A = this chain, B = another copy of it.
Amino acid sequence: MTSLSDPRRNEALRRRPTMKNVADLAGVGVKTVSRVINREPHVSEETIARVRRAAEQLQYQPDMQAGNLRRADRRTDTLGLLVGSVANPFSAAVHRAVEDIALERHVAVFASSLDEDPERELSSVNAFLRRRVDGLILTTIQPSQAYLGAQLDRGIPIVFVDRRPNGIEADAVITENAEGATGAVEHLLALGHRRIAYLGDDEKIFTARERKRGYLDTLRRHGVAPEDRLIVDNLDDEAKASDAVARLLALDDPPTAIFSAQNLITLGVITSLRSAGASTRVALVGFDDVPMAAMLEPAITVVAQDPASIGEIAARRVFDRLDGLDEPARDFIVPTRLIVRGSGEIRPF
């Protein structure tokens, strides 16, 4: 007799039931159980019912890992997603869109945060690959993504989001960064601003380079010489952005407008302009939307991105490739939209 505390009994209880267990209980072979579970034809109604009952009784869950090992298509119905940070609203919106597309295909998503750390890029990608994901959607920070070439050759679709890869030809879904920046700067120029400051992130980041390029090119095209004193890079948090604004406002000839090239930076700018009492005097246009922007006083004019589209396009591309689409790699450029709310329409003093 086996008692509740008998280790063997516990062992049996603790083990997840296998197809063999179901087969024995139903009095059929394992292959028949496999057929029922996978809804394959050529099983009698009566056998199906018996197997179903046994599976139910044991609370059987098939082990996909074991199945995938042998299965012909070798798919794990799993996808790896690497974003800036799952806690960042932009990344979260991308993630959500990817999840929604993946859900339609019963594909589960591994999500991971990059934190602009090259080491994390490698370890996340490796973690995904060891788990045999069917495809990858990646935001990257390594100078080159050539290390992914072999995976691409082996038919694992890889789509880059938000940033274009280097050293490898692969699909990329990116915001029209330079054009968006151009729109912002032209908007300010049209109001008469000439002293327009640029506050941006580390130029190691693709989007930062692009947005800065848009800013510089646009100024020059309109005959305004960019001034080094009005250009600040490497702002990777809100506090640094605030400090930078304080310094700009203290100049002899301070800027009459600010183009803030990233959303955390925009928050820092708002804080700093307010505490200097300059928020209704200095114009501000931010790249990427800011939560509650419409509720602020003044409301914040931004170049809004469309993270949901980015995620959706990336996910669809991965699945198209998994479905056999064999096109050359290409970029998908997602448009931005200038949302006029007030802060960007302040005229120069």
A→B interface (CB under 8 Å): 13-16, 59, 61-66, 68-69, 76, 78, 85-89, 92-93, 95-96, 99, 106, 108-113, 126-132, 150, 153-155, 267, 270-271, 274, 290-292, 295-297
The 8 closest A-B pairs by CB, nearest first: A291-B291, A87-B96, A292-B292, A65-B65, A59-B150, A111-B111, A92-B92, A64-B130
A271's nearest neighbour on chain B, judged by CB, is: B295
Report how far A61 CA is from B147 CA in the complex, Å: 13
Residues of B within 8 A of A14 (CB): 153-155
Which among A96, A126, A153 has the greatest number of chain B C-beta atoms within 10 A? A96
Residues of B within 8 A of A64 (CB): 130-132
The residue that A127 contacts in the complex, of B108, B110, B296, with Cβ under 8 A, is: B108
Q: Is the CB of B109 within 8 A of A111?
A: yes
The residue among A111, A112, A153, A270 with the most chain B CB atoms within 10 A of its own CB is A111
Interfacial chain B residues near A126, Cβ < 8 Å: 61
CA distance A47 to B186 in the complex (A): 64
Q: What residues of B have a CB within 8 angstroms of the CB of A153 in the complex?
A: 13-14
Known contacts A86-B86, A86-B111; 5 additional CB pairs below 8 A are A14-B154, A61-B129, A86-B99, A87-B96, A108-B110
Which of B13, B99, B129, B274 makes the CB contact (< 8 A) with A112? B99
User: Given that A86-B86, A112-B109, A155-B14 are contacting pairs, would A63 and B295 also be in contact in the complex, using a CB cutoff of 8 Å?
Assistant: no
Residues on B with C-beta less than 8 A from A292 are 267, 290-292, 295-296
- Whether B61 pairs with A69 at a CB distance below 8 angstroms is no
Q: Which residue of B lies closest to A68 (CB)?
A: B65
Nearest CB on B from A348, distance (A): 24
Residues in B neighbouring A88, C-beta threshold 8 A: 92
- Chain B residues within an 8 Å CB radius of A87: 89, 92-93, 95-96
Chain B residues with CB under 8 A of A59? 150
Contact across chains for B96 and A131 when beta carbons are under 8 A apart: no
Report how far A95 CA is from B131 CA in the complex, Å.
20
The complex places the Cα of A284 from the Cα of B292 at a distance, in Å, of 17
Cβ A76 vs Cβ B86 within 8 A: no
- Is the Cβ of A131 less than 8 Å from the Cβ of B13? no
Closest Cβ neighbor of A293 among chain B residues: B292
By beta carbon, the residue of chain B nearest A96 is: B87
A150 to B295, CA, bound (A): 49
**Please, which residues of chain B bring their CB within 8 A of the CB of A127?**
106, 108
Tell me which of B63, B68, B96, B108 contacts A86 (CB under 8 A): B96
Residue of B nearest to A130 (CB): B64
- A93 (CB) vs chain B CBs: closest residue: B87
Q: In the complex, A236→B296 CA distance in Å?
A: 24
Report yes or no: B16 in contact with A63, Cβ–Cβ below 8 A. no
A65→B131 contact, CB < 8 A: yes
Cβ–Cβ < 8 Å partners of A132 in chain B: 16, 63-65
Contact residues in B for A61 (Cβ distance below 8 Å): 126, 129-130
Which chain B residue shows the least CB distance to A133?
B108
Q: Pick the most buried of A16, A65, A78: most chain B CB atoms within 10 A of its CB.
A: A65
Q: Could you jot down 20 A-B contacts, CB within 8 Å? A: A14-B153, A59-B150, A61-B129, A65-B132, A78-B131, A85-B96, A86-B92, A87-B96, A92-B92, A95-B111, A96-B113, A99-B112, A108-B110, A108-B127, A110-B111, A270-B295, A271-B295, A292-B295, A292-B296, A295-B296
